[in-house]
């Protein structure tokens, strides 16, 4: 029977399928961080259970670490306790840990791929919803809760129900300056923040295939922002090229066997999806969110929507509530919206390509008066690479701050947070109320759009001189 990419990976991972029960599927790699793991480790301890495969588990510290100091003293008492608890647990259970002093430390969804932990055709889970990122490699990767983290630790498996399948095809080629972030925001704008609920989405089409691995990760990262269980992109030569020679990638004969296996990982031509969505890449302009969820998005040359145009009362009330929170009026041109904070970073957009794209706009210019802009590389390796290319100097000369790796202002668990009333151009993934700080407003954009907004002090259409 013809199968989709998801169905192939799913079928490959079934350990036990009993009638009337959720199938048990195997987990190849488990990524762990400090915030969602302590209760799982303690659950094992209380029950006297061992970890089944600590060698398939990789831990890092990212959510609440400081981006100004690689010292535990820079953390609040509770954050420090959480970080130290992870250290203790990893030692006790024999889990590899990239702590804040390690050169490989970074955002869990940045380091997994760059260390070659993320491989096509594997199942990867993490107690973090943006685990969807790893689907860019043709892995089935999804976020789980802490009870499931404990289940994986104890059994290296999960009990999961099979999701429905959705194909999202982005046809043709995007215009110059249109990035993966614009593509995925346009998709979410089209299907809504819950349009993917219950589905595993496969992204395909020429505009997806022509993306680099960094771009593909940006797209899959935000699969969760359309409600999808996971996002996947079929592996190809770009995928293999990216993975070859990385620390945990297969080597020698294993590499050849892996590449041969990955070549089978594509949706069969006559496979049937439960739902199909199609976009034309040429129609995608730079995107930005105006409201309080990632589906509330417009193109840079569009206006803030009017609630009276809403399709139903629930949507109307959501728009009204969002407009009140973000303090924008219907009909405002997005290029007229001033910002005072800029965040370039997060598991969505903190990889080398993202920093290069931002640096193009920062180079030789100055951050606008009254604007604070921070750049937070996704990992120690990204930071090192950026510094080797002189990007740090470009940012610093332009008045941006150059920080240490971590999740930072994406969720604002550390000191990097917005104040009430702040308006931020952010390359992160969620613009929920209070996400970056109580009473603050977040507009999601690409790295280029964020850097340009920092220079101009308001959103600009990067396709034109500004």
Q: Which is nearer to other proteins, 159 or 190 (CB)?
A: 159
Min CB(464)–other proteins separation in Å: 34
> Site for other proteins (CB under 8 A): how many residues?
75
Residue from 54, 135, 143, 205 touching other proteins (CB under 8 A): that is: 143
CB 123 to other proteins: min, Å: 10
Q: Write out the binding residues for other proteins, residues 284-323 only, by CB under 8 A.
A: 293, 314, 317-318, 321
Q: How many CA atoms lie within 13 A of 6 on its CB side?
A: 25
Tokens of 57: 């588990």
Minimal distance, residue 463 CB to other proteins, in Å: 31
Extract the tokens encoding 279: 């976009």
Does the protein bind other proteins through residue 364 (CB under 8 A)?
Answer: no
Q: Which is nearer to other proteins, 161 or 308 (CB)?
A: 161
Which of positions 189-228 make contact with other proteins (CB under 8 A)? 193-194, 197-198, 224, 227
Minimum CB distance to other proteins smaller for 63 or for 458: 63
**Cα–Cα distance for residue pair 456/373, rounded to 1 Å:** 12
Q: For residue 389, which phi and psi values (nearest 5 degrees)?
A: -90, -5
CB of 392 to other proteins, least distance (A): 28
Cβ neighbours around 280 below 10 Å, total: 15
CB 211 to other proteins: min, Å:
25
Binding of other proteins at residue 354 (CB under 8 A)?
no
CA distance 462 to 86: 43
Closest CB 28 distance from other proteins, rounded Å: 6
Contact between 116 and other proteins per CB under 8 A: no
Among 99, 148, 392, 416, binds other proteins (CB under 8 A): 148
Q: Which stretch binds other proteins (CB under 8 A): 146-154, 175-183, 215-223, 279-287?
A: 146-154
User: Does the footprint of other proteins cover residue 47 (CB under 8 A)?
Assistant: yes
According to DSSP, the residues that pair with 24 across neighbouring strands are 16, 159
* Burial readout 333-370 (b: 16 or more C-beta within 10 A, e: otherwise): ebbebebbbbbbbbbbbbbbbbbbbbbebbeebebbee
* Interface with other proteins, residue 353, by CB under 8 A: no
Interaction residues for other proteins, span 84-103 (CB under 8 A): 85
Q: Which is nearer to other proteins, 177 or 198 (CB)?
A: 198
CA distances in angstroms from 89 to 34, 43, 74, 93, 414, listed in the order given:
10, 12, 21, 6, 22
Report the site for other proteins in 323-342 (rule: CB under 8 A).
none
- d(CA 30, CA 53) in angstroms, rounded, equals 9
Quote the CA–CA distance of 140 and 124 in Å, as a whole number. 6
Of 376, 343, 360, the residue nearest 454 (C-alpha): 343
Least distance CB 261 / other proteins (angstroms): 7
**CB-nearer residue toward other proteins: 147 or 366:** 147
Q: Where are the beta strands (DSSP E) in 122-178?
A: 123-126, 140-143, 157-159, 164-171
- Residue 223 or 451: which CB sits closer to other proteins? 223
- Residue 201's SS3 state is strand
């Amino acid at each position: 029977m013809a199968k989709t990419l998801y169905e192939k990976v799913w079928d490959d991972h079934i350990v036990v399928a009993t009638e009337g029960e959720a199938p048990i599927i195997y987990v190849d790699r488990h990524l762990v961080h400090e915030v969602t793991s302590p209760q799982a480790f303690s659950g094992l301890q209380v029950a006297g259970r061992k970890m089944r495969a600590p060698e398939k588990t990789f831990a890092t510290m990212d959510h609440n670490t400081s981006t100004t100091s690689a010292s535990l003293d820079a953390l609040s008492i509770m954050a420090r306790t959480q970080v130290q608890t992870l250290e203790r647990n990893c030692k006790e259970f024999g889990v590899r840990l990239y702590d804040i002093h390690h050169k490989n430390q970074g955002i869990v969804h940045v380091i997994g791929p760059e260390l070659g932990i993320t491989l096509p055709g594997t199942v990867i889970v993490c107690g973090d919803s943006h685990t969807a990122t790893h689907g860019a490699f043709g892995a089935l990767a999804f976020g789980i809760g802490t009870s499931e983290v404990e289940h994986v630790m104890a059994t290296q498996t999960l009990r999961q129900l099979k999701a429905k399948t959705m194909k999202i095809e982005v046809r043709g080629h995007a215009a110059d300056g249109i990035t993966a972030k614009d593509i995925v925001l346009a998709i979410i704008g089209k299907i809504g923040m819950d349009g993917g609920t219950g589905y595993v989405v496969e992204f395909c089409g020429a505009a997806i295939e022509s993306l680099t691995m960094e771009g593909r990760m940006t797209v899959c990262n935000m699969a969760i922002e359309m409600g999808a269980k996971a996002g996947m992109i079929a592996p190809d030569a770009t995928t293999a090229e990216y993975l070859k020679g990385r620390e945990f990638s297969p080597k020698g004969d294993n590499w050849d066997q892996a590449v041969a296996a990955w070549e089978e990982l594509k949706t069969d031509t006559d496979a049937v999806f439960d739902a199909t969505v199609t976009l034309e890449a040429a129609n995608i302009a730079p995107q930005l969110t105006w409201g309080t969820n990632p589906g509330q998005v417009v193109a840079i040359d569009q206006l803030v929507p009017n609630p009276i145009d809403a399709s139903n009362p629930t949507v109307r009330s959501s728009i009204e509530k969002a407009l009140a929170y973000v303090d924008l009026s219907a009909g405002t041109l997005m290029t007229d919206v001033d910002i005072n904070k800029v965040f370039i970073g997060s598991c969505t957009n903190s990889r080398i390509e993202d920093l290069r794209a931002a640096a193009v706009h920062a180079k030789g210019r100055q951050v606008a008066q009254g604007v604070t802009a921070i750049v937070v590389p996704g990992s120690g390796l990204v930071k090192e690479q950026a510094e080797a290319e002189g990007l740090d100097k470009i940012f610093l000369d332009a008045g941006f701050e150059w920080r240490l790796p971590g999740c930072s202002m994406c969720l604002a668990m550390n000191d990097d947070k917005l104040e009430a009333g702040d308006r931020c151009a952010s390359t992160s993934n969620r613009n929920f109320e209070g996400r970056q700080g109580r009473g603050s407003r977040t507009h999601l954009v690409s790295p280029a759009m964020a850097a340009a907004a920092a220079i101009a002090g308001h959103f600009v259409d990067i396709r034109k001189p500004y």
